[in-house]
């Protein structure tokens, strides 16, 4: 396919019978008010809330089939469309909680009527096992640690309906962490039946099975095709969902997903690129949800442990060679907030993410390349998740053309969505495009997650002793002026070292049928079926 085809594209023509081949027939009138059909570019690669390499669809799955102790509130943004409220927490499995005067313990009271999908009651013992698991599983332990939850010893059963969490010191991230996907409340009695000495947390079983507590149950699953949910009528941890059934189908082609929503054959299309969104604007019966993703970012990753990306001058050469404006306008259609073209190498503010001082400047790019270990250029691969293909491939073509101007040759490679998380976790991809999001809001959290440590989310495998020391110092800093000064220093170091290149914060654009109400944007960017209704 040619570059022009990507940059000029609107809705592509769909061959006759395409939707039928994809399993997308006309919406069934009977029960339509209580049934939702969602089309996506992926399906869950694990059912485990703490599954290694979990993809975005897996986050959406666990969000709907498991409950948590607490949840974020929400506030309206436009006509029965909502945004999650980071500053407001509500009880879910917990009917109430109390923070000790010194902030070093939180005591939760469990709802008397809360049950798992098999009807057994949720007690403090199951909550403790679930939290013990969340701090023990590698995929979730690091995130839970950002809220000072690191050991099963911290979770104390007071009585069957009361659980206390003890902390080494007061932590502003503790409660928000409990509202994320990882600390899902799992039916421990069921899961333990499938645990072994080698697998004490039943990870193998939970990867393909559900021990649920949420508003929806797994009804059926066809690998690589679709997943169906049925409402759990015994759910008491929130308002009973209006929807009784949800069908989540994989339709790889963005144009196919768009056309299905336009025709009313589907209700929501997830993951459409900007050109498809533009093609649906103004269509009868279609509503476009468009919400700024303040914590999300699309970026170019460079593994600083793999030569030649271990050379700061090479990274800066790439940062000054990228065709930012052409990518943002041509591929993203200007939808979002640019994170390029800033002017401050020494930041005046601790706000982050913020525009970086990188701009297209081939002369400057060549100067940095001449100082690098590969002054004459080199060849490498540029990789992306096939689930992001509609945006990533035209970006890759533009990047390929731009870097060729300074002597860097790229081979473009696509990775299946189910493998992407594992490759990132194992640090096997040297140069790539991806999208991510900071699940909690403070600037120091952003740097702790994406510029520190040996886990998947440190996309650049970045290590800097001064940054590590500053992050430790600001972790519990109460003096705002001191906090901001140290965060500004972190930003200064990161800009100079350029471990990854932030491109922009995209807009969360989601087309849906205009009779849907209650859609809520969450940090994980997945659909919360619990709050949706028709008309």
What CATH number corresponds to the domain at position 498? 3.10.105.10
* Inside any domain, residue 122: no
d(CA 128, CA 144): 14
The whole-number pLDDT of residue 31 equals 65
The CA-CA-CA angle for residues 523, 300, 432, to 5°, reads 100
The total domain count for the chain is 1
The CA-CA-CA angle for residues 1, 296, 534, to 5°, reads 85
How many other C-beta atoms are found inside a 10 Å radius of the C-beta of residue 371? 14
The whole-number pLDDT of residue 20 equals 42
- Contacts of residue 401, Cβ cutoff 8 Å, sequence gap at least 6: 3, 323
Number of H helices, E strands in the chain: 18, 21
Query: Does residue 239 contact residue 88 with C-beta atoms inside 8 Å?
Result: no
Q: What is the pLDDT along the chain (535 residues), one digit of tens a residue?
A: 333 333 333 323 333 333 443 444 444 444 678 999 999 988 899 999 999 888 889 999 999 999 999 999 999 998 899 999 999 999 999 999 999 999 999 999 999 999 999 999 999 999 999 999 999 999 999 899 999 999 999 999 999 999 999 999 999 999 999 999 999 999 999 999 999 999 999 999 999 999 999 999 999 999 889 999 999 999 999 999 999 999 999 999 999 999 999 999 999 999 898 999 999 999 999 999 999 888 889 999 999 999 999 999 999 999 999 999 999 999 999 999 999 999 999 999 999 999 999 999 999 999 999 999 999 999 999 999 998 998 999 999 999 999 999 999 999 999 998 899 889 989 999 999 999 989 898 999 999 999 998 888 999 999 999 999 999 999 999 999 999 999 999 999 999 999 999 999 999 999 999 999 999 999 998 999 999 999 7
d(CA 207, CA 447): 30
Q: What is the 3-state secondary structure (H, E, C) of 65-126?
A: HCCCCEEEEEEEEECCEEEEEEEEEEECCEEEEEECCCCCEEEEEECCCCECCCCCECCHHH
The whole-number pLDDT of residue 6 equals 31
Q: What's the DSSP call for residue 37? A: E
The whole-number pLDDT of residue 54 equals 87
Which residue do the tokens 């009779």 mark? Answer: 515
* Inside any domain, residue 184: no
Query: Does residue 424 contact residue 436 with C-beta atoms inside 8 Å?
Result: no
The whole-number pLDDT of residue 52 equals 87
Which residue do the tokens 């706000």 mark? Answer: 351
The phi and psi torsions of 204 (rounded to 5 degrees) equal: -65, -45
* Inside any domain, residue 426: yes
How many other C-beta atoms are found inside a 10 Å radius of the C-beta of residue 148? 21
436 three-state secondary structure: strand
Residue ranges making up the domain that contains 492:
296-506
The phi and psi torsions of 172 (rounded to 5 degrees) equal: -70, -15
* Inside any domain, residue 535: no
Measured over the CA atoms of residue 429, residue 433, residue 438 and residue 439, the dihedral's sign is: negative
Which residue do the tokens 């332990």 mark? Answer: 141
Residues recorded for the chain: 535
* Inside any domain, residue 419: yes
Which residue do the tokens 């703490």 mark? Answer: 50
* Inside any domain, residue 375: yes
pLDDT (tens digit, 9 = 90+) per residue, 100-155? 999 999 999 999 999 999 999 999 999 999 999 999 999 999 899 999 999 999 99
Tokens in use for 498?
């350029």
The phi and psi torsions of 491 (rounded to 5 degrees) equal: -60, -45
* Inside any domain, residue 58: no
The whole-number pLDDT of residue 29 equals 42
* Inside any domain, residue 175: no
d(CA 150, CA 154): 8
The whole-number pLDDT of residue 26 equals 43
pTM (2 d.p.) = 0.82
Query: Does residue 401 contact residue 274 with C-beta atoms inside 8 Å?
Result: no
Query: Does residue 216 contact residue 231 with C-beta atoms inside 8 Å?
Result: yes
The whole-number pLDDT of residue 490 equals 98
* CB-based contacts of 450-455 (< 8 A; 24+ apart in sequence): 450/500, 451/490, 451/494, 451/499, 453/142, 455/142, 455/425
Closest-CA residue to 94 (of 64, 125, 67, 129): 67
């Amino acid at each position: 396919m040619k570059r022009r085809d990507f940059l000029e594209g609107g809705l592509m023509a769909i061959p006759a019978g395409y939707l039928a081949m994809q399993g997308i027939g006309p919406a069934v009138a009977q029960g339509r008010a209580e049934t939702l059909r969602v089309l996506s570019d992926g399906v869950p690669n694990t059912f485990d809330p703490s599954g290694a390499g979990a993809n975005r669809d897996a986050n959406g799955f666990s969000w709907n089939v498991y409950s948590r102790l607490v949840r974020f509130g929400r506030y309206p943004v436009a006509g029965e469309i909502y945004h999650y409220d980071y500053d407001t927490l509500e009880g879910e499995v917990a009917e109430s909680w109390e923070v000790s005067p010194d902030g070093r313990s939180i005591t939760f009271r469990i709802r008397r009527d809360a049950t798992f999908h098999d009807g057994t009651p949720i007690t403090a013992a199951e909550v403790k096992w679930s939290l013990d698991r969340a701090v023990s599983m590698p995929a979730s332990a690091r995130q839970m640690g950002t809220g000072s939850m690191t050991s099963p010893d911290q979770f104390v059963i007071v009585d069957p309906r009361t659980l206390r969490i003890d902390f080494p010191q007061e932590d502003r991230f503790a409660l928000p962490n409990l509202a994320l996907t990882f600390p899902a409340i799992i039916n421990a009695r069921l899961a333990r039946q499938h645990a072994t000495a080698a697998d004490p947390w039943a990870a193998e079983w939970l990867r393909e099975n559900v021990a649920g507590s949420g508003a929806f149950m797994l009804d059926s699953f066809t690998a690589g095709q679709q997943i169906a949910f049925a409402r759990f009528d015994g759910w008491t941890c929130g308002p009973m969902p209006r929807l009784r059934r949800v069908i989540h189908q994989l339709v790889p082609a963005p144009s196919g997903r768009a056309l299905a929503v336009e025709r009313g054959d589907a209700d929501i299309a997830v993951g459409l690129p900007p050109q498809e969104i533009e093609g649906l604007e103004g269509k009868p019966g279609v509503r476009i949800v468009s919400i700024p993703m303040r914590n999300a970012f699309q970026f170019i990753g460079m593994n600083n442990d793999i030569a030649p990306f271990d050379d700061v001058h090479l990274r800066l050469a790439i940062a000054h060679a990228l065709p930012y404006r052409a990518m943002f306008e041509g591929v993203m259609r200007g939808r979002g907030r640019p994170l390029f073209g800033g002017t401050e190498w020494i930041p005046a503010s601790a706000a982050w993410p913020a525009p970086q001082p990188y701009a297209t400047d081939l002369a400057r790019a060549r100067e940095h390349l001449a100082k690098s270990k590969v002054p004459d250029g080199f060849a490498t691969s540029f990789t992306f998740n096939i689930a992001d293909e509609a945006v990533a491939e035209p970006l890759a073509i533009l990047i390929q053309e731009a870097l060729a101007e300074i002597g860097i040759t790229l081979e473009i490679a696509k990775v299946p969505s189910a493998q992407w998380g594992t490759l990132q976790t194992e640090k096997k991809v040297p140069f790539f495009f991806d999208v991510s999001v900071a699940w909690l809001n403070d600037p120091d959290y952003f740097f702790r997650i994406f510029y520190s440590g040996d886990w998947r989310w440190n996309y650049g495998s970045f290590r800097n002793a001064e940054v590590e020391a500053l992050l430790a110092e600001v972790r519990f800093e109460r003096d705002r002026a001191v906090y901001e000064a140290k965060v500004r220093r972190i930003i200064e170091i990161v800009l100079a070292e350029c471990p990854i290149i932030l491109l922009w914060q995209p807009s969360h654009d989601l087309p849906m049928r205009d009779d849907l109400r209650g859609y809520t944007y969450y940090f994980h960017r997945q659909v919360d079926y619990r709050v949706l209704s028709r008309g």
